[in-house]
Structures are given as structure tokens and as C-alpha cells.
Chain A
Amino acid sequence: AQSVTQLDSQVPVFEEAPVELRCNYSSSVSVYLFWYVQYPNQGLQLLLKYLSGSTLVESINGFEAEFNKSQTSFHLRKPSVHISDTAEYFCAVSESQGGKLIFGQGTELSVKP
């Protein structure tokens, strides 16, 4: 069965510092990997995805994630965070397009001035 583990429940960081949010998954088959962001009182928004091809994927707002098959990881990074990046971040995995997403427990990123 699939599962996703986000190793940090809370990550406090100062503005303009780098950040890494860790995600590990388990699956017996090939998977699609996602990072979603949830701002307070809003729905989840897709931040970036890995389907195939290049193992390094990027979002439009400076986040990137790297798929590492040998370590079954999909860590999210940003070299310099902003106050506006404060949100809950969820890693998710799916075994098929259109199939259900299995989410991790979430990581609360808190960016302080």
C-alpha cells in the first residue's frame, strides 16, 4: 500500500532564508508525486508535480522539488522564502492519473520577518 511521510510537522524560518520540506513515500509501483499548498481558510492548490522525465521540477514562485527514486523522496526546496510563503504544505502520491491522492500529514511553514 502507498504511504507518504512528511518528516517535519512545523518548520519555522526567517524571511530570505532557504528552506527544505521533506517528503518520503512508499509504493510498490511507479508513482506520480505532488506538492500542494494550503493557505489559511483556502482549498489546496497544486504547487508542482512529477510525472516523468526530469527529476527536478519547478514552480512559478521559486519552489523546486527533486524526485529521488533510490531514496523514495520528493523534498521541496526554496532558496529564499517570503512572508507570503507561510502556509501548510502537503506532499501527495498517486499510482495513476485521475486516481486518488495519498497525502502526507502536512508541514506548516512559518516565515518570520
Chain B
Amino acid sequence: EAGVVQSPRYKIIEKKQPVAFWCNPISGHNTLYWYLQNLGQGPELLIRYENEEAVDDSQLPKDRFSAERLKGVDSTLKIQPAELGDSAVYLCASSPRGALSYEQYFGPGTRLTVT
């Protein structure tokens, strides 16, 4: 079974430019999460989807960040415009329904560097 796939793995952009990250969760997992991991810190939730509905986006900076999960499968996280402080690793995770819904499976992340 394939794990959570993220692309690109690395991205370097100049400040004020837009950037997008893509995530393909494990097949059949209805819950999808985007986390932000700053250097030397634990991940922090940005947004959580149940199928195509964003059920927790309270930590998403909506002035510059947006996300979508069309058809309840793949998801895209966008930043426009990027700022120097956005340099971090962006992690995607997914979890199944039911009794195993506590178990989140993480992708390798996208490391963003804003110059």
C-alpha cells in the first residue's frame, strides 16, 4: 500500500511569490491534515478535512494561505504571497474512518525556503 505522497519535496522561492504544495493521501482515508513544522519544533495543524469539507481551519492564516480538497481525495495548499517566515516543512497526513481514526499517517513533507 502506498503511503501519503507529497510534492514537491523541496521548493525555493523568492518572497512575494506564490507557491503550491500537493498531497495524495492513502487510498480510502477520508480525513486529511496539513501541518506546519518550523525548524526545531513539533508540527502544528493548519487545516483538517473530512472528505471535501474543511472542519478545522482555525489555525490557517487565511490572508495568504488557502487550501482545497476537491472530490475528497487529493489536496493542495497554497501560499500567496510567500513571506520569509513561511520557510518551514509542510506535512500532509491522512487517517482512516472508524476505530483506527486516531492513527495519522504522515507524508515526507515539502521543505519550503523563502529567500
The interface of chain B, by Cβ under 8 A from chain A, is: 3-4, 31, 33, 40-45, 48, 56, 91, 93, 95, 101-109
A90 nearest in chain B by CB position: B42
**B-binding residues in A (CB < 8 A):** 4, 9, 32, 34, 36, 41-46, 49, 51, 90, 92, 94, 97-101, 103-106
Which residue from A4, A41, A46, A100 sits with its C-beta under 8 Å from B108? A41
Asked whether, in the complex, the Cβ of B40 is within 8 Å of the Cβ of A101, the reply is no
Q: How many A-B residue pairs have CB under 8 A?
A: 53
Whose C-beta in chain B lies nearest to the C-beta of A103? Answer: B42
Chain A residues with CB under 8 Å of B44's CB are: 103
Assembled-state Cα–Cα distance A20/B27 (Å): 36
A100/B42 contact (C-beta < 8 A), A41-B108, A49-B103 known: no
Q: Is the CB of A105 within 8 A of B41?
A: yes
B91 and A43: CB pair below 8 A?
yes
Across the interface, B102 reaches (CB within 8 A) one of A4, A32, A106, namely A32
